[in-house]
Chains A and B, each alone.
Chain A
Amino acid sequence: MNTILTGVLFFSGLALTVTVILHIAAQKTASGQKNTGRPAGTNKIRLDDDFPDYRPRVQNKTQKRKKSPSRKRFSLSGSLHFNSLVSEIPLLEAGLPEYVYIPLKLPHINALPRLTVKKGDKVRAGSLLAQNKKYPEADIYASVSGKITGIENISDAFGAEIPAVIIKVEKDDFEPSIDLSPDIIREIPYSEKEIISKIRHSGIFSLAGAESMENVFTGGQKISRLIINGIDAEPFPGIRENLLCKKAEQIIIGAKILNKAFGIQNALIAINRKRPDILKLVSGLTRRYVGVNTRSCPAYYPSGQKNLLITAITGREISAGRRPENYGFMVLNAEVALAVYEAVLKNKPLCEHFITINKNGKSTSFCTRLGTPVDFLLKKLSLSPENGKIILGNVLTGREVLNSKAPLTGQDSKILYLVPSEQISGPCIRCGKCLEACPLHLQPYAIASALQSHDQDRLKQLHAADCIECGACAFVCPARIPLLSLCRQSKTEFKNN
């Protein structure tokens, strides 16, 4: 008996050893070999596990509703919730850089403005640089005072060539017509027409999210509801909640101006449900303003997205290919409302915008002049692009900055500084997590495999073109399949066909 037992013990010990050795061997090969699994493995960068600032979880509950519209609500289940520790973020003045570069063509505006200045001219902050008489939305304003040292092609943050005006900063002053006092003006002494013309001639259409307004100006849709988006709901806090803390009243007045301009009865300021402090502050202020209300909204990623915000508030879904304006909704970001206030009541065209810089979960917001180079802000925080990656945009969707001398435009609001670490992608294990995470209920794994087989019909069937490129699917994928890149690719594939 004893001999048998010894033999058996010996065998199991041997088996265990073999297991361990094989595992170590397999792991070695895994780390030595980078591009392994399907789909064509791409390496990923990631932060370390013990990242301080977020705890993601996928919500499984259907969202509760307050006022029930008669329609059945789209279930907002399975979106990403980032319980970021929202703390007060400082909002600093970035100051003046040595040079600013002001792009002459805005990517989302088709009309081209004509230059009104030439090389060597002196300009003041807030004066016109380029004008389109028929389409004033495309106008370009100087954001600093100084001398134009060149009008030439520069390379933007991702390496593309864009025409730009280069201004050497000389003085810190503005056009004399601009009201620079910090007092808040509460009366709106202008008529609808005057307001609209002031907004159109203010250059605020370079801000992200102002396209809605542009569409209404050109398309003339009737707007019945204005929503001011004050939700960041991103892994890292952004500027909107910060602005609502610090400039709430100006934003409310901006909403009132917009109400008047578009003949809207009621504007809603959407506020992150996890920030009761902001809700308290803003709703205390809105009591003084008729026609502006607050609404606390579920803060999940990506609820800052226009269409999803409308769905969260009203229960209406925006079909693919249509715009909120077609349904009578207009969603504007809090920054835009602030810019409207300044343009209309302070006569100030868009010169400044807000950038939040995040390093390892710690954020700082800056108010900077348009066209400030990226590295000017980086230097402010003594970050150098050599050690880490500079990402322009959201941590789930942003793109890596290739040229850190490139200027920031109104489309940018976030810079991230990350130290990269390797991610290895493996084969899809069919866990269904991407499906759960997609806010539109698409099937990212299926889109990825349809893309690999170039199956156009299948892509169409899967509504691949509806994807809003939020990156939630790629975030949750345990196999680290680059689902976001694949979804983007499938969208371009659509466009090309």
Chain B
Amino acid sequence: MPGAPYIFSPLTTRRIMLQVIIALLPLVAVALAAFGLRALVLVTTAVAGCVTFEYLGARFLLHRPAAASDLSAVVTGLLLALWLPAGFPLWMVLLGCFFAVIVVKTAFGGIGCNLFNPALAALVFLFLSFPGETSACLQPHWFDFFSDNAQKCTPVLEKLKYLSWENLNTSPESYNLAGLPDFGQMLKGTTCGNLGNITFLAVLPGLIWLLAQRIISWQIPFYYLMTFFILVLVHWLINGTLQNDIFIHFFSGSLWLGAVFMATDYTTSPMSARGKIIFASGCGILTGLIRLYGIYPDGVPFAILLMNAFVPLLDKICTPRIYGTPRR
């Protein structure tokens, strides 16, 4: 029965993806400014790889080539690139694209059917297969596009994890001694990191844009960041050391990138508001626990992937009360 409705909200799948791409642009711009040509190559390779695999997958696996036109592969490519360090080997990027698009997304039936966030799953795959390359970060060389003497460095969170305890307390000298950035440096983006996480400030325009356009709901970023903040804060207040410094944890690493762009992925997050709150709180707690007790310096990808696995369950149990049925 062809039929109603005859008008639609202007938002289509494609338009949503376009809005996410717009929200990612500040991050890409920061990455280009900080890492120059290396960032450009990485981003274009990842995007081109994802789009190519998406097209091939849609064409030969799903047999509906139109499925590749919704721009979601561009988002996946951008996100994947933003989580990788500058100078990451390109063939590994392509491998990651293949894993993200074909293994994680298309094999499950295309957009909307995947259980795990494609970019994150690919990232973890790369991380487990090539731990050396994924953590070989470069010091940002701001506004020096063709710089060829970028220095290798260790990301802040990694420093925290493997800090040796001698002579270190929470005094400012210890921060210098341990090579930890202060708040100003974290804002300016002169700390060591991947393309997308040298400064959390770059995430903010995207966050505001996505909220203003009503693409994402506020619950996920808010509860994610809040539960993480409270958990680490409590831990810090009970036993404050360098290693659980609340400011470093809250403003460095991929926490903001994950909370705004990864945890809010439609397909791999719950649909109801209550489900979203539980999901996001779980992400926050898991991230905190992994950072404080686990062996991985930045727990965000693992935390979100773990919570992804809970989404079908959350969708089942967290349904709103239907009109006219008794109150629970």
Contact B266 A431 (CB under 8 A): yes
Nearest CB in chain A to that of B12: its residue: A478
CA distance A440 to B266 in the complex (A): 22
Contact A471 B4 (CB under 8 A): yes
Contact A12 B41 (CB under 8 A): yes
Nearest CB in chain B to that of A44: its residue: B8
Contact B47 A19 (CB under 8 A): yes
CA distance A488 to B1 in the complex (A): 10
Contact B3 A463 (CB under 8 A): no
Q: Which of A58, A477, A489 has the most CB of B within 10 A?
A: A477
Q: Which of B52, B69, B267, B272 contacts A27 (CB 8 A)?
A: B69
Given A26-B58, A441-B321, A466-B322, check contact A11 B41 (CB 8 Å). Answer: yes
CA distance A429 to B112 in the complex (A): 4
Given A12-B45, A400-B2, A432-B272, check contact A23 B69 (CB 8 Å). Answer: yes
Given A427-B110, A478-B16, check contact A485 B325 (CB 8 Å). Answer: no
Q: Digitize A393-425: 1 where CB-to-B-CB distance is under 8 Å, 0 elsewhere.
A: 111111110000000000000001010100110
Contact A22 B37 (CB under 8 A): no
CA distance A56 to B51 in the complex (A): 32
CA distance A33 to B63 in the complex (A): 12
B136: chain A residues at CB < 8 Å are: none
Given A27-B69, A37-B67, check contact A478 B15 (CB 8 Å). Answer: yes
Contact A435 B58 (CB under 8 A): no
Contact B69 A29 (CB under 8 A): yes
Residue A383 at the chain B interface, CB threshold 8 Å: no
Contact A443 B64 (CB under 8 A): no
Residue A192 at the chain B interface, CB threshold 8 Å: no
Q: Which of A320, A391, A432 contacts B6 (CB 8 A)?
A: A391
Contact B67 A432 (CB under 8 A): no
CA distance A352 to B190 in the complex (A): 76
B64: chain A residues at CB < 8 Å are: 33, 36-37
A397: chain B residues at CB < 8 Å are: 4-5
CA distance A398 to B47 in the complex (A): 43
Contact B2 A74 (CB under 8 A): no
Chain A min CB distance to B217 (Å): 8
Nearest CB in chain A to that of B8: its residue: A46
The size of the chain A interface, using a CB distance under 8 A, is: 87
Residue A290 at the chain B interface, CB threshold 8 Å: no
Residue A85 at the chain B interface, CB threshold 8 Å: no
Contact A475 B65 (CB under 8 A): no
Residue B323 at the chain A interface, CB threshold 8 Å: yes
Contact B271 A430 (CB under 8 A): yes
Nearest CB in chain B to that of A58: its residue: B214
Residue B29 at the chain A interface, CB threshold 8 Å: no
Contact B271 A427 (CB under 8 A): no
Contact B13 A33 (CB under 8 A): no
CA distance A216 to B272 in the complex (A): 39
A427: chain B residues at CB < 8 Å are: 67, 109-113
B68: chain A residues at CB < 8 Å are: 22-23, 26
Chain A min CB distance to B108 (Å): 11
Q: Which of A445, A471, A479 contacts B5 (CB 8 A)?
A: A471
Q: Digitize A194-231: 1 where CB-to-B-CB distance is under 8 Å, 0 elsewhere.
A: 00000000000000000000000000000000000000
Nearest CB in chain A to that of B110: its residue: A427
Contact B323 A439 (CB under 8 A): yes
Q: Digitize A46-59: 1 where CB-to-B-CB distance is under 8 Å, 0 elsewhere.
A: 11010100101110
CA distance A442 to B3 in the complex (A): 21
Contact A440 B323 (CB under 8 A): yes
A235: chain B residues at CB < 8 Å are: 7
Contact A1 B148 (CB under 8 A): yes
Contact B6 A22 (CB under 8 A): no
Chain B min CB distance to A202 (Å): 32
Residue A319 at the chain B interface, CB threshold 8 Å: yes
CA distance A37 to B12 in the complex (A): 14
Residue B319 at the chain A interface, CB threshold 8 Å: yes
Given A26-B55, A54-B7, A441-B321, check contact A480 B12 (CB 8 Å). Answer: yes
B66: chain A residues at CB < 8 Å are: 26, 29-30, 33, 36-37, 424, 426
CA distance A418 to B2 in the complex (A): 15
CA distance A484 to B7 in the complex (A): 13
CA distance A394 to B55 in the complex (A): 39
Nearest CB in chain B to that of A483: its residue: B5
Nearest CB in chain B to that of A55: its residue: B10
CA distance A9 to B159 in the complex (A): 34
Chain B min CB distance to A303 (Å): 13
A72: chain B residues at CB < 8 Å are: 327
Residue B153 at the chain A interface, CB threshold 8 Å: no
Contact A15 B112 (CB under 8 A): no
B214: chain A residues at CB < 8 Å are: 57-58
B324: chain A residues at CB < 8 Å are: 307, 317-320, 440, 466
Residue A5 at the chain B interface, CB threshold 8 Å: yes
A479: chain B residues at CB < 8 Å are: 12-13, 112
Contact A25 B55 (CB under 8 A): yes
Nearest CB in chain A to that of B40: its residue: A12
Chain B min CB distance to A151 (Å): 32
CA distance A12 to B48 in the complex (A): 9
Chain A min CB distance to B265 (Å): 9
Residue A42 at the chain B interface, CB threshold 8 Å: yes
Residue A279 at the chain B interface, CB threshold 8 Å: no
| Those 10 A-B pairs whose CB atoms lie nearest each other, nearest first | A432-B271, A30-B66, A15-B48, A440-B323, A26-B68, A26-B69, A396-B5, A441-B320, A30-B69, A29-B65
Q: List 6 A-B contacts (CB under 8 A).
A: A18-B48, A29-B69, A56-B9, A308-B323, A427-B111, A442-B322
With A319-B325, A399-B3, A480-B8 given, name 7 new contacts (CB 8 A): A19-B74, A22-B52, A26-B65, A395-B6, A396-B6, A435-B320, A471-B4
